Structure 1
């Protein structure tokens, strides 16, 4: 086959770190993670471009969040570089290279307070898992029957 007829292989760019961070947050939300915050830390540290920080009520919920994130990213061909703290389950860190997921039990999140540490970083808007009650329901609550 002549050289001219060969198609040049175009390497697909790695998918966007922002999209990955939002997918991680969405997967965590699907398992009822609380207080999900996505920090854009790339200008503040070389560790990652984004941190996703969330809270969980229990060890089984932490495991469910880790599994949901793993499954969502595996579908996109992304595997974690490492998982730390899975046995202790007060704070689990999952490293996806340009995005790091931190899952805390509530008391550990308050103690380590990464939100204060990275509070100067811009946050990506991420819809809350708590939807506001429709106005009609609010009015009904105030009525005496």
Structure 2
């Protein structure tokens, strides 16, 4: 299994920002997109943007920058691509509708810090 340093930092930051229903899957054996996929639910569009802003700012301070950011500022689904970790921040309706867990749910689930 790949180094979990970036994954663990991201999960910690998501928990601190009150992201709901966080799941993390180790997808490297079945995907070349990323090693880990993280999905979290925001309570609203402003909450999703605040989580994304906080995550980007705190990881940048640790010299971890995203390769791409999609949806920030104008969407109820924000995708942050940190290379080895892909983060999906979604509002509840979008998460239920797109059901990303159906794609990655068969992969190994990672523990989420309390």
TM-score by length of 1: 0.73
Q: Displacement, 1:88? A: 3.4
Aligned 1:1-145 pairs, distance under 5 A: 17-128=3-114
Q: Which runs of 5+ in 1 are unaligned?
A: 1-15, 129-145
Higher strand proportion: 2
Superposed CA RMSD: 1.3
Q: Which runs of 5+ in 2 are unaligned?
A: none
TM-score by length of 2: 0.92
SS of 1:88 mapped into structure 2? coil
Q: Displacement, 1:35? A: 0.4
List structure 1 segments (4+ residues) > 6 angstroms apart after TM superposition.
Answer: none
Higher relative contact order structure (alpha carbons within 8 Å, sequence separation ≥ 6)? 2
Q: Displacement, 1:87? A: 3.9
CA distance in 1, matches of 2:101, 2:58: 25
